[in-house]
Structure 1
């Protein structure tokens, strides 16, 4: 059955896992050509819904099963009275099995098929049926030139299963990728459709399970789970007799000279996300501003780590790093935090100092690196992190025995036990300073209210991303503090305080 974007399944698979599901369907009695026909019909229906006034189709086909889908869509379009051409970038003589049968059906139907060359003219809606999910290496010629021509055409583009050139496992562009307006994908959702460069090239996503029986998916290995309103972890309701001591005491440590705003954003986020009490340890010169902005917080001016010791015995959760700096002051405070037996969130400069190996991460931690910080923590380049974000998230979680939030388009949450969650919500307006500080404070508040590290990280990322999507509708100029009231509202809608 088809699914709209809001009804997409939670499970995300690798390309190999989806091929395994496909093989299971065939082994259970559904012929491969029937599955190809179902995929073509699903693509055709989605294409017509998306462009109801279109009447011309240019199918650009390779030489695999993806091309077979394209040939069958061409047949459906011709039967509907559209002007149709297939531009064969892959030699039809190399087609095998079901794809060869699809080509034969297109020939029998009288579909115009011509070899691709640099002078081919694309017209109408362009259907990308070039490379599919099996691609792992860089796109080679002639496909690179074909993809460049599709992208330069300015025409509406639909992709079969996945935009050609996008890695189904990692979301990395393999040199170049088709920029689709619509992608119709089948059987199981591919992880690469939701992270990395996916947001730039997938367009609107339509999923069809090709009538796979539910038992097909029982016991199937899953790479990750999408976070949705329906499956995001929830805080429990509060008893009428609750008091501030019931919901933890978060201490935020940071705000070196010149970075006082970062720690205040984190503190405000923790307060508004339900922490029972919030304290801030920062530079003494930031205390007046902090008290003026956050009279509900307890603010302590700190000049040395010794002044933290008494406070560390009174709190339940630490958030360390926003505005911490990498000087002697920040290093000494981070060292004190590292020795405290408390659940902690490490962000920003705490991660940069951790990467220098001068301090050890305590147990029960959540770390929140962006790709650059992740690269320093792993000792690789940022490009290598972005080339395989899921692998980087797992590697960080294993190396530091921590829950990892790898930020960016398609944020990933990895647990040391191997679980991986993905949040693909958000908005480009979130490309603004301070949003990471808000996220760190939010994670700390959820930990303080009794959530375990993985659930707190998942819920925090979901709230943060959806608040950003909501506020992003107003366009450019999104400030980090804009998210805080939106997070509070979403949290209440998702898990009411009083039931």
Structure 2
């Protein structure tokens, strides 16, 4: 999925419908006018992308999305393309505006045919336009639509989706049983949050946006649900260092974890904190890992911990904690967790730190929790809704602080706002990525960033460094420590 030059605000389907309603009822823009503008945006994109196309089939359902599709077919026919509007839905259920769009198509040179008359979907067609289901789709896709979507996906024909790929939830990004896999999606009025998370990026293809010319002031009347994070905006706020600086000005991170056999996790987290700019980094780990971690990175101060007293002295020196990388679930792990979690220092809790936390009645305002979906489920005792936005908000309400729900379109939730990271790639699905992220965020906290900003900047530079790496080396074979040079470079781009 590529998406450049897009607005920062993300909306639910209901919020977009509210914006649509304001444009029609308060600003005097007719629904049919908006349909025409949506269709024109799709036609412009189709011709720009597939300029050599001669035949186009437009698959239309029964909603206003179908109205857009019928106008698309009519406009393409006016441009002398061999165009068919394939009727999948019931034309008798079309709204007044969509019926007017159907009549426009009927009066054009486009052919209107029933899907039952199509022998093989995609056969002899240069481009398919998906106008089957819009943002109002809920529940499992019905069988009649499922068969069409399956055939379109199997055809190998390039697909342009109108507003949203059919079968994709505009709110959650989940697939409603089956969904169109588009090459490009042209979305309208406002960005739907489901396009950017969970299954959304796998189905959207390249994303283009048209406001349809609605007045800019309508967006002030409907508060968006979420914000897309941008590296440029964040790094401007990070600022430069004074020349008259000392290591103690940039904090002292204590990374606690690394039970037997898992010393690599604390090593990666600690090095990441250094690379993110922390002035000092100490490691509290199982005694058998001290030599390993120190030999890997001699700039670290590494301590083998056997009892609470040894942790006391380390906690006294630290200004920020990172708890959990490689922590494990042994008696030693319990000792470290209970001691470190009792501290009031700003902290990042990840990995087994979250598994130890699950079910405990602890809430803090100055920590950052970084669960992946499995850890999120444990934090919520298995009671997780099928909605990443609802999940991250539930965890934040229960545990406080800032929560980072990792995954495609990582979500960040503070007490007041949700944000989404638009960067990242499948190469990051490998061991150690979370350890590096926790260290980066800890390093930023140590330099004086507030928890919300530290989480946002940390997640963004972590994902963007991965994107930059795979541009030159490819997705497969990316490992967590590959990100460290890129993270350092990005954090010095202020």
Q: Do both share a fold (TM > 0.5)? A: yes
After TM superposition, give the deviation of residue 231 of structure 1 in Å.
Answer: 2.7
Distance 1:264 1:297 in 2: 9
Give the one of 407, 419, 431 matched to 1:433. Answer: 431
* 1:410–1:423 Cα contact (<8 Å) kept: yes
Aligned partner of residue 232 in structure 2, secondary structure: coil
Q: Deviations over 1:343-374 (max 9, x none)?
A: 010000001111143x7354411000000110
* 2:363–2:398 Cα contact (<8 Å) kept: no
After TM superposition, give the deviation of residue 66 of structure 1 in Å.
Answer: 0.2
Distance 1:441 1:58 in 2: 51
Matches within 5 A, 1:77-476: 77-117=76-116, 119-122=119-122, 123-232=125-234, 234-357=237-360, 360-380=362-382, 384=384, 387-417=386-416, 419-473=417-471, 474-475=473-474, 476=476
* 2:359–2:381 Cα contact (<8 Å) kept: no
Most deviating of 250-259 and 282-291: 282-291
Aligned partner of residue 426 in structure 1, secondary structure: coil
After TM superposition, give the deviation of residue 120 of structure 1 in Å.
Answer: 4.6
Distance 1:249 1:301 in 2: 18
* 1:279–1:297 Cα contact (<8 Å) kept: yes
Distance 1:25 1:332 in 2: 60
Distance 2:234 2:207 in 1: 21
Aligned partner of residue 392 in structure 1, secondary structure: helix
Most deviating of 45-54 and 233-242: 233-242
Distance 1:32 1:6 in 2: 28
Distance 2:143 2:108 in 1: 30
* 1:338–1:362 Cα contact (<8 Å) kept: no
After TM superposition, give the deviation of residue 110 of structure 1 in Å.
Answer: 3.3
Confirm or deny that 1:492 pairs with 2:489.
no
* 2:82–2:110 Cα contact (<8 Å) kept: no
* 1:430–1:472 Cα contact (<8 Å) kept: no
Distance 1:380 1:231 in 2: 36
Distance 1:121 1:307 in 2: 69
Distance 1:38 1:326 in 2: 58
Aligned partner of residue 430 in structure 2, secondary structure: coil
Distance 2:349 2:431 in 1: 17
Distance 1:277 1:457 in 2: 20
> What is the aligned partner in structure 2 of residue 17 from structure 1?
15
* 2:255–2:323 Cα contact (<8 Å) kept: yes
Distance 2:485 2:221 in 1: 41
> What is the aligned partner in structure 1 of residue 57 from structure 2?
58
Most deviating of 188-197 and 26-35: 26-35
Aligned length: 486
Aligned partner of residue 128 in structure 1, secondary structure: strand
Distance 1:362 1:306 in 2: 24
* 2:437–2:462 Cα contact (<8 Å) kept: yes
After TM superposition, give the deviation of residue 73 of structure 1 in Å.
Answer: 0.5
Q: Deviations over 1:285-317 (max 9, x none)?
A: 111111111111111111123210111111100
TM-score relative to the length of structure 2:
0.96
* 2:231–2:457 Cα contact (<8 Å) kept: no
* 1:428–1:472 Cα contact (<8 Å) kept: no
After TM superposition, give the deviation of residue 462 of structure 1 in Å.
Answer: 0.5
Aligned partner of residue 238 in structure 2, secondary structure: coil
Distance 1:18 1:354 in 2: 38
Q: Deviations over 1:204-227 (max 9, x none)?
A: 000000112211112421110001
Distance 1:112 1:232 in 2: 51
Distance 2:68 2:375 in 1: 42
Distance 2:436 2:221 in 1: 38
Runs of 5+ consecutive residues of structure 2 not aligned to the other structure: none
* 2:231–2:461 Cα contact (<8 Å) kept: no
TM-score relative to the length of structure 1:
0.95
Distance 2:148 2:76 in 1: 22
Distance 1:23 1:94 in 2: 20
Q: Deviations over 1:111-142 (max 9, x none)?
A: 21111127353222110000110012111121
The root-mean-square deviation of aligned C-alpha atoms, in Å, is 1.3
Distance 1:287 1:212 in 2: 62
